Chains A and B, each alone.
Chain A
């Protein structure tokens, strides 16, 4: 039997916009993945701890408040620190084009903006999951 891809959908920081995170969580589940959704208001430590405990293959971060350059990067760095380099990290939200190179450099593999079909996220994860 093929192991199911395990994904943590996480909402870092104070942002309350959870429409996208919930849609993506549901779409990934419908695509046959095992999804854990953190709920709102998570610190980087909480997200990384959950990722370790749940032994996930993918962390999907969602943020629409504009604090992605701090909060996404916090999570990516902490994952590295905990030797979780083989976890695929992706992000989505209201993210200007010019911020994307910086996020990628920090370890966010891909960034999905408004208007992304959920199918694109599903296939990206399937293609790029590292473990």
Chain B
């Protein structure tokens, strides 16, 4: 981005500086570590200058926000126009309890909803299933039927607020519940907006809440793409997620590479079905982690936008919107400490700032108590206020991509891109994403990084404040969330009542039709919607698909 002659001069001057100034300085103040590395194990130089980005051509490689390659952002005016959506991931106990929390969050300035489901729901089991034992409402809300969905969104205007739902294995079914609930309120499908996570590949890779094997899972996902752009055009039918890959222990580079690789896999699957890329691509969205290394995270988001735009073009996308890598960010749950939990507020602030400087479209900030339990009302309010302070007070929203042009950031962005393409090549050599999953490639890569991180922490090579340095003799304690103990009983009774009250013949008829359709190759969304409208439960609907598709079992690798 600087003229050749100038680069030559700077290179020479830098060499002089290194020899004369820097070498002297480190004699007086030896460096704290033999090498400085970020969390992806990339070595960081002592100083960055125009020489480090001499190969970058501004217009082609960096460009303007809202223009290819979208490195600086997908929107020309970003937060000067509209702030990111403040969307706190929340759910616990029964639908009623969680509904109260949603109203609380909205009253305090949250601008979008995000549903956390409990484990039985994530695996497509009703609350009264034997495998649901002990799990009701524990790490999310229990939703077993459309009836529960009605309670969950009671009093919330579904045509005005957007909702993100972290649901994968049974995503099509839970989405059908949301659509059905809106329809029953007289709200048209084409007016509702939100996101279903619906990203099964990262479930096999990292989060592990899968149900069906890869092939039928990919079919269901493409079904939602197709149904979505035709009927629910404002809905993001997938949120291709690196968050969980990172939480499972990957580095930032692995998160970036595996996530975008998964994204490309979905696009190919949909194109194989015969869908036109420009029909469904504008509704693809992404979800990344914001971990501790501040600049590395910012570079990751910037690189992600550029790589995605490049790859989508290669796949034949023509509409500019198809090239947009829009993303949600959540601060890193795995970085929270149970020790001196108040310090998590500070960690979350920096992580959230990185996400904002990286141009996120929506953001969840973790609560300080989440290494102990689900967040209390006060903790979640502080987390939300953290976003509001960044948005309203810090001034970082006044210009688009404020770190663009920093020698370090631009160098690191390019470096992340380079490392990502190396992973793309590796996965290609293994035969693609699904064969690589079956060979345990991603799982091993992640386990390796997780182990290294733990070892470095245990050996005090990586300092975690309050954990391996600056410890307190007496740990502080903070109040944690108490759940309604009667919730489970109420939920099971509601489920029993529902099963006796609904039209059983109709339920059976629609479940049968779904089975037939699943055995064939029609789009399953309309069939699932019929089941849901007739109040078939999540478990019943999923069981039909389990019987037709079978279940996925993973090989445990450590």
The stretch that binds B, out of A8-16, A53-61, A80-88, is A8-16
Min Cβ gap A39→B in Å is 3
Select which of A18, A70, A117 is within 8 A of B208 by beta carbon: A18
Identify the closest chain A residue to B136 (Cβ).
A67
Q: A77 contacts the other chain (Cβ, under 8 Å)?
A: no
Which residues in B have their C-beta under 8 angstroms from that of A97?
Answer: 372, 477
Instruction: Give the distance in Å from the alpha carbon of A16 to the alpha carbon of B374 in the complex.
Output: 17
The B-contacting residues of A in range 16-39, CB under 8 angstroms, are: 16-19, 21-23, 25-27, 37-39
Instruction: Give the distance in Å from the alpha carbon of A54 to the alpha carbon of B445 in the complex.
Output: 28
Q: Counting chain A CB atoms within 10 Å of each CB, which of B120, B135, B557 scores highest?
A: B135
Which residues in B have their C-beta under 8 angstroms from that of A26?
Answer: 447, 451, 558
A22 with B558, Cβ < 8 A, contacts A16-B209, A65-B135 known: yes
Identify the closest chain A residue to B339 (Cβ).
A115
Q: Are B337 and A114 in contact (CB under 8 A)?
A: yes
Min Cβ gap B445→A in Å is 13
Instruction: Give the distance in Å from the alpha carbon of A117 to the alpha carbon of B122 in the complex.
Output: 31
Instruction: Give the distance in Å from the alpha carbon of A24 to the alpha carbon of B371 in the complex.
Output: 18
Which residues in A have their C-beta under 8 angstroms from that of B139?
Answer: 15, 64-66
Q: Counting chain B CB atoms within 10 Å of each CB, which of A14, A64, A117 scores highest?
A: A14
Using an 8 Å CB-CB cutoff, how does the interface string of B435-467 with A read, 1 for contact, 0 for none? 000000000000100110010011000001011
Min Cβ gap A114→B in Å is 4
A71 with B134, Cβ < 8 A, contacts A37-B558, A119-B458 known: yes
Identify whether the interface residues of B are mostly helix, strand, loop, or mixed: loop
| Contact-residue bracket for chain B | 35 or more
Q: Are B371 and A114 in contact (CB under 8 A)?
A: yes
| Contact-residue bracket for chain A | 35 or more
Which residues in B have their C-beta under 8 angstroms from that of A74?
Answer: 133-134
Q: Are A66 and B373 in contact (CB under 8 A)?
A: yes
Instruction: Give the distance in Å from the alpha carbon of A106 to the alpha carbon of B4 in the complex.
Output: 73
Identify the closest chain A residue to B481 (Cβ).
A96
Q: A118 contacts the other chain (Cβ, under 8 Å)?
A: yes
Min Cβ gap A96→B in Å is 5
Q: A40 contacts the other chain (Cβ, under 8 Å)?
A: yes
Q: Are B467 and A16 in contact (CB under 8 A)?
A: no
Q: Are B337 and A117 in contact (CB under 8 A)?
A: no
Q: Are A14 and B135 in contact (CB under 8 A)?
A: yes
Q: A113 contacts the other chain (Cβ, under 8 Å)?
A: yes
Q: Are A23 and B133 in contact (CB under 8 A)?
A: no
Instruction: Give the distance in Å from the alpha carbon of A71 to the alpha carbon of B133 in the complex.
Output: 8
Instruction: Give the distance in Å from the alpha carbon of A25 to the alpha carbon of B336 in the complex.
Output: 22
Which residues in A have their C-beta under 8 angstroms from that of B131?
Answer: 13-14, 41, 43
Chain B residues within CB distance 8 Å of chain A: 119-120, 122-123, 125, 131-135, 138-139, 203, 207-209, 247-249, 334, 336-339, 371-374, 447, 450-451, 454, 457-458, 464, 466-468, 477, 480, 554-558
Chain A residues within CB distance 8 Å of chain B: 13-19, 21-23, 25-27, 37-41, 43, 64-67, 69-71, 74, 94, 96-97, 113-115, 117-119
Write 24 A-B pairs (CB below 8 A) sorted by A numbering: A13-B134, A14-B123, A15-B119, A16-B203, A19-B247, A22-B451, A23-B447, A23-B454, A26-B447, A37-B558, A41-B131, A65-B119, A65-B135, A66-B374, A67-B133, A67-B138, A71-B133, A94-B372, A97-B372, A113-B371, A114-B338, A115-B337, A115-B464, A118-B454
A16-B203, A41-B131 known, 9 other contacts, Cβ within 8 Å? A14-B119, A14-B120, A26-B447, A64-B139, A66-B374, A67-B119, A70-B135, A94-B373, A113-B371
